[in-house]
Amino acid sequence: MLEVDVLRVGAQGDGLAADGLFVPYGLPGERVAGIRDKDRLLPVRILVESPDRIAPVCPHFGVCGGCLLQHWRTDAYRAWKRALVVDALAREGVVAEVSPLVDAHGEGRRRAIFHARQIGPRTIVGFAERKSHSMVPITICPVLAPGLDHALDAAKAVAEAIARQKKPLDLHVTATENGLDLDVRGSGPLPPMLLMDLAAIAERFDLARLTRHGEMVVQRRVPFLPMGAARVELPPAAFLQATAAGEAMLAARVGEAVAGAKKVADLFSGVGTFALRLASTARVWGYESNEVAVTAMLKATRGVQGLKGVEGEVRDLFRRPLMAEELAKFDAVVIDPPRQGAEAQARELAKSKVGRLVYVSCAVSTFARDAALLIAGGFRLESVTPFDQFRYSPHVELVATFSR
């Protein structure tokens, strides 16, 4: 049995002891005991408990891999999450003042991906264990918004109906303005009688829409979400900001940063989270590799009064970033790439004459890399504001503003 002192919490949410040993759910200042398993201490027995340790809010905490930090006092957790941004920038040599962490949890997460597995006669629906493919059957998830109150029951009913296919399923559920939107992935083709059973389940749980791999099973109502003056008809399993409050806060910060711009490029525009809001004061060009998302964004502008104009182009910005010459017509650029960041696009932005840039990031390490490229190209990093949409997780988002 090995005894160690937890020195700090690492970037992935585990406690860290000397020699880089990971201590699952360990908190700074604790002394713990366990057996070393490669680079982890398992199982962990607390010998000296941190005064910052609190009771978790979920009965599945410690088994379910979804939340890692429910046991940490709020002020200590918030300071650590802001420090993730500070440390990532420092590693890239980027000097910037990082604002206090903004709580963007709101009512909770409005989308979830439940996993379903058939184990003998049982259909297990829930989330995966930490660093494992084993399933945790869940009965409650406190981080979900009230709009997903019946999502787990609906997902279980769909999974049980498809159980005879004996395939692992992912069930994407989104709370929309008109009810739950559920998309099933992994089932393969389904026979007509089973599709009829799924349509009956949609009726029983009052789903707005039920799809399989994006293909329609039944639509009882169009699943909409408001974005600025527009209302977007969501594509199945569409990417969205995790919480409604988070989307509103990020969009407000972006809007403030580009205020006064007449022509704005929205790179990695998705279904129009920022573009549709910015269009009330500027002409916006959205660029996104997902054709379905671009179509949904443009469709949402039809008949909406007061918009300055939204154009969309299907374009893979990893393979074909907007070149410096193409960027010349824009007063401001908004960029919201996925977790891998946008190195190729950042290099072209650095070469461009764009005067204002707003970078929305969901991965601080790749943001820091891209920020260093932009600064080397003549941009000044004016502000960095971290947002916490994924409460109890190591995931932190941010909005950064740059100017020439």
User: Is the pLDDT score of 43 beyond 90?
Assistant: no
Domain match, 273 and 381 both: yes
Find out whether 264 and 285 touch, Cβ atoms under 8 Å: yes
Domain match, 201 and 183 both: yes
Residue 182 pLDDT level (bands cut at 50, 70, 90):
very high
Q: Is residue 70 part of a domain?
A: no
Domain match, 394 and 298 both: yes
Distance, CA of 188 to CA of 196 (rounded, Å): 16
Q: Is residue 75 part of a domain?
A: no
Strands 224-227 and 283-288: unpaired
Residue 165 pLDDT level (bands cut at 50, 70, 90):
confident
Q: Is residue 154 part of a domain?
A: yes
Domain match, 330 and 267 both: yes
pLDDT tens, 307-335?
999 999 999 999 999 999 999 999 999 99
Question: CATH number of the domain that 116 lies in?
Answer: 2.40.50.1070
pTM (2 d.p.): 0.95
Domain match, 343 and 389 both: yes
Last residue of a domain, one of 192, 224, 256: 224
Last residue of a domain, one of 193, 224, 255: 224
Domain match, 267 and 376 both: yes
Q: Is residue 368 part of a domain?
A: yes
Domain match, 357 and 297 both: yes
Domain match, 100 and 123 both: no
Q: Is residue 229 part of a domain?
A: no
User: Is the pLDDT score of 166 beyond 90?
Assistant: no
Find out whether 24 and 63 touch, Cβ atoms under 8 Å: no
Question: CATH number of the domain that 6 lies in?
Answer: 2.40.50.140
Q: Is residue 66 part of a domain?
A: no
More reliable by pLDDT, 284 or 121: 284
pLDDT tens, 52-83?
999 999 999 999 999 999 999 999 999 999 99
Percentage of the chain exceeding pLDDT 70: 100
**What pLDDT, on the 0 to 100 scale, is given for residue 29?**
97
Structurally, the chain folds into a number of domains equal to 3
Distance, CA of 207 to CA of 218 (rounded, Å): 9
Q: Is residue 323 part of a domain?
A: yes
Q: Is residue 62 part of a domain?
A: no
User: Is the pLDDT score of 291 beyond 90?
Assistant: yes
- The residue range of the domain holding 213 is 111-224
Find out whether 391 and 143 touch, Cβ atoms under 8 Å: yes
Last residue of a domain, one of 190, 224, 258: 224
Average pLDDT for residues 153-165, to the nearest whole number? 94
Domain match, 182 and 296 both: no
Residue 130 pLDDT level (bands cut at 50, 70, 90):
confident
Question: CATH number of the domain that 338 lies in?
Answer: 3.40.50.150
The catalytically annotated residue of 64, 67, 141, 362 is: 362
Q: Where does residue 303 fall: left (phi above 0), alpha (psi -120 to 50 degrees), or beta otherwise?
A: left
Domain match, 356 and 269 both: yes
Q: Residues 293, 299, 305, 310: what is their CA dihedral angle, to the nearest 10 degrees?
A: 50
Domain match, 298 and 202 both: no
64 is catalytic: no
Domain match, 174 and 256 both: no
